[in-house]
Amino acid sequence: MQSLLDALSSLEEKDLTYTALGQWVRAFPFRELTYKPHLPQAESKNDYARHILTLDPLEAVLIYWPPGVRSAIHHHEGFYGYVVVLEGMLQDRTFTFRDKVLKEDRVLQAFAGGIIDEPDGVIHELGNIDPEQPAVTLHLYYPALETLEGLRIFDLDNRRIGTLNETAPTASWQNPVDCFTAIEEEAFALAKPASSHRMVLVQPKPDPETIYAMLARYYDEQAHEYDNFDLEHKTRKPYTETINRLIGQDLCRQHAHQVLDVAVGTGRRAVAIRTMAQCDYDITGVDMSREMCHIAGQRGIDARHGRWLDIDLGEEQFDAATFLYAFGHIATSELRLQTLQKIYRHLKPGGRLYLDLFNLHDQSEWGPAALQAFEEQHLERYGYEKGDVFYKKTGGTASAFVHYFTEEGARALLQAAGFTIASIQYIGYVHDAGKIVDDAQKGFFFITAVK
């Protein structure tokens, strides 16, 4: 810690511009920082705690975030800085405020080693959204803030804007009323979300274990509403129904007896496909969500909870396997290959794999935006593969991961696992939902592969 304070004290005026300070922050070895002896104690499990390390020549403040604790949405005026995540994960939501309407702009989630930019004028909320683990962050602000006097904070629940005075210990509505110089009631409206899901920038890319935990939490959170959402979604419903029909028709011709469903979810689609196939085959399902496995079991599926690569199926062999709307959740190219190789081993000779993949070049989806972010934000240095996307459901707390594919990459991956590709079709999603289209840039890939 002393080495950090010494380095900060040596900074000159030219080093304290927003750009120069950012370069300095990204070069400093924060992973070597001995910060735990300096951690502040949170007086409440519902608020964070601050320890100011120095105010010269800028402010360095260490913050401890109990599980689930967030700051209020607050407005930076006249200062800027950077947040370095030392432990846990911190979420940053930025907003725009115009004509008394507050609108969510960007969501960023930073794990240990991640850096959050805080430009002058930003309106944002910082928070530890992990319900179990604390987070620790180091904040560097210029010019230094001796107090939070004059800081404006927004109350989403009650549509209030409060102005803090010099006694406020945190940017939080947990503060008593005497920490405010003013509170304006009915001060703003909240803009409605534009879509059901949105992209989230995560840095650095978490390890596969963390991504798996994120996904399990994401699907557990949605398990009991997932089917209704699917059936009511104006584009996903026709998309999934078309794929269900194509698989059902093919399975009918194959006279299947045993079918494996990886990422079986609630089992609704597996049962629908079997009905369309007009075959009374047995279904073995695997899913990372315990809640979804429970629902699938109630539908008569032999549903096994866990990661596909960890599930022991012994010498079981299947006539066919499905992996629908979920293969992109696998965190890395290496794990995707291992996944396909294991499916291959559990298929009988001639067994078929049905797989759909998100298309990196579908101009109506997130693929092109993900590609642009990868190149412009140099995400490779944060461990990203081209096509990686993190996202969350509007109103949800958990984030998810998906990988977008190129057709060439998908072909190479399946062939490396030993499969022969029988067909690749393009199924419309955002536009021409559920229709088989000719343009490879206007749909997702639906692939039938054969052992």
**Residue 397 confidence (pLDDT):** 81
User: What is the mean pLDDT of the segment spanning 388-406?
Assistant: 92
Q: Which residues contact 356 (CB under 8 A, 6 or more apart)?
A: 243, 324, 325, 327, 427, 444, 445, 446, 447
Run of H or E including 220: helix 208-222
Q: What are 36-60's pLDDT values in tens digits? A: 999 999 989 999 999 999 999 999 9
What is the three-class DSSP state of 66?
coil
What is the three-class DSSP state of 71?
coil
**Residue 68 confidence (pLDDT):** 95
**Residue 120 confidence (pLDDT):** 97
Domains by residue range for the chain, with CATH? 2-192 (2.60.120.10), 209-450 (3.40.50.150)
User: What is the mean pLDDT of the segment spanning 443-448?
Assistant: 97
**Residue 50 confidence (pLDDT):** 96
**Residue 272 confidence (pLDDT):** 97
Range with the poorest average pLDDT among 213-222, 321-330, 399-408: 213-222
pLDDT band (50, 70, 90) for residue 380? very high
Say if residue 92's pLDDT is above 90. yes
Burial class for 431, CB neighbours closer than 10 Å (0-12, 13-18, 19+): middle
Tell me, rounded to whole angstroms, the distance of Cα 323 from its chain centroid.
21
Q: Which residue has the tokens 């696992």?
A: 417
pLDDT band (50, 70, 90) for residue 194? confident
pLDDT band (50, 70, 90) for residue 440? confident
Q: What are 427-437's pLDDT values in tens digits? A: 999 999 999 99
Q: What are 264-282's pLDDT values in tens digits? A: 999 999 999 999 999 999 9
Prediction pTM value: 0.83
Give the rounded percent of residues in the chain with a pLDDT score beyond 90: 90
